[in-house]
Chain A
Amino acid sequence: MSREKKAISREELERIIALCESIENKGLDPFSVNVKELLMKLRRILEEYKDLDIIILDAETLYKIAVLISLQQKWLKERTSSLFIDSQLVSLKITSAEPKQLAAALARSWRPIVRAEQLTLYRLRQGIEYFLMLPPKDRAYEKLPATQEDALHILKGVGYAKDVTLEEEVRRMHESCLMMAGSDGEVDYWSIVKADTFEETVWRAYVLSFVVSEGLAEIKKNPLTGEIKVIPFLSKRKREKVAAFVVSLRGGEVSKDLGRQKK
């Protein structure tokens, strides 16, 4: 019987804590609770049970009631500042007022923040001055060519570009492929590509790759012998299958005399 009573008292304390917490969290009217009555209950429970569990719970309940009292004080302050206007009165006014009336009410009490969103001339001048003060990230940028012609000239100077038109080179390569092709319509890859210097050989291989890409020729490799053949066409052909073809210099496919000057 005593244990049952103790459980009921415990439940009662927990209920008081939950009540105080809900008022605190949901912002409900803290005066809706009778604090005096809660304290009386607390006192009665404390007098009845000297158990440690109950004493701890009792202390927690007392703390929550203290928080509730401080909320009551805050509530009173806020109500005073809001001229004791009740939320129900405001709700009534909101539901009965026209949107324009509500907007006018806000307009009366609203003083929007003023801020500058755009640059001023002064700030712009400051920005320019700062920019001009900045050292270039890399001095090499200072020597950057101004025009496309200048850039091409530099590239030619270091050997990255040739003074030729690629279209013309492709046309010539296609013609020589056709001329060199035998009765079977095939020509050996190296016999076309090979030149006096290594650079020239690479260049010819590069041009031939364009001939093939354009659909003016085809390359075949015999997997057993490793022989590479070029099959030139008279006119452009549309290919069904396109695959990348790599000629490796390491694999010994480049002839030994490649790149050596003719004596």
Chain B
Amino acid sequence: MEDRKSETERTAKKLMIATSMLLFSSHKLPGVRGWELRRRLGKNYLKIIDALNNRLNSIGLRVKIVFDQLSSDSPARDDFDKARFFVTLSEPLSVADIVAAGWNIEDVAILAAVFSYIFTKGGKASEKELVELLEIKFPRQRVEAVIERFTKKGYLTKFEDDMIKVGWRTLAEVDEKELLKAITEIASPQQNQRRDNTKEEA
């Protein structure tokens, strides 16, 4: 009986440690690596993370694991050790929530366009073609400034002079499939017009 009690206490303590490690990070980058969790929580750290995930779900949060590069289709123990663990929201925000949090709606729109274009271009695209695509809708300087700002924030990564790929933060925060689905579902102005006309006729 006492053994079970102490076991429960130990697990509760480990859950607390895992929460503080994941939320209160002193590194420049948020989140922690799997090996760091293993060192503090023991070899069964994935079970602790799973238990924490269940608890976090009830308050709208979740533990997100971003793997560096998978050695096979299903992640191995080594992959988990090298992976980065974050806490993210479990449900997406609304545009109103994002604006209320201080984000500019045009910046978010540029970011959406950049991500979706890069995703469909096999994970990388040149900055030149991104700017050319977006300057139809937004001022060139603004597009360049947004790309620069979000590169610093870790959403984008620049490499080989002019090439851009998505950064670690995008991999942790953005669901690629969901974004592309949402982009393709955007109705064109003609479709919107037609829909409005049908509504009026009805």
Contact = CB atoms under 8 A, between A and B. Distances in A.
B184 A115 contact: no
Q: Is the interface of A mostly helix, strand, loop or mixed?
A: helix
A5 B67 CA distance: 51
B113 A107 contact: no
A234 interface: no
A105 B175 CA distance: 11
B105 A90 contact: no
Interface in B41-61: 61
A115 B89 contact: no
Interface residues of B, number: 64
Max count, chain B CB within 10 A of own CB: residue among A25, A90, A105, A106? A106
Contacts, number: 167
Interface stretch (B7-15, B75-83, B118-126): B118-126
Nearest to A87: B120
A27 B120 contact: no
Interface stretch (A94-102, A177-185, A205-213, A239-247): A94-102
Contact of A104 (B136, B169, B182): B182
B179 A94 contact: no
Contact of A105 (B24, B30, B88, B116): B116
Interface string A17-51: 00000000111000000000000000000000000
Contacts of A94: 113, 116-117, 133-134, 137, 183
Given A101-B109, A120-B24, 20 more contacts: A27-B124, A75-B122, A78-B122, A85-B180, A85-B183, A90-B120, A93-B184, A100-B105, A102-B110, A102-B113, A106-B108, A109-B175, A109-B177, A110-B92, A110-B174, A111-B88, A113-B88, A114-B23, A116-B24, A123-B24
Interface of A: 25-27, 74-75, 78, 81-83, 85-87, 89-91, 93-97, 99-116, 120, 123
7 contacts: A27-B125, A81-B177, A82-B177, A93-B183, A94-B134, A102-B186, A105-B179
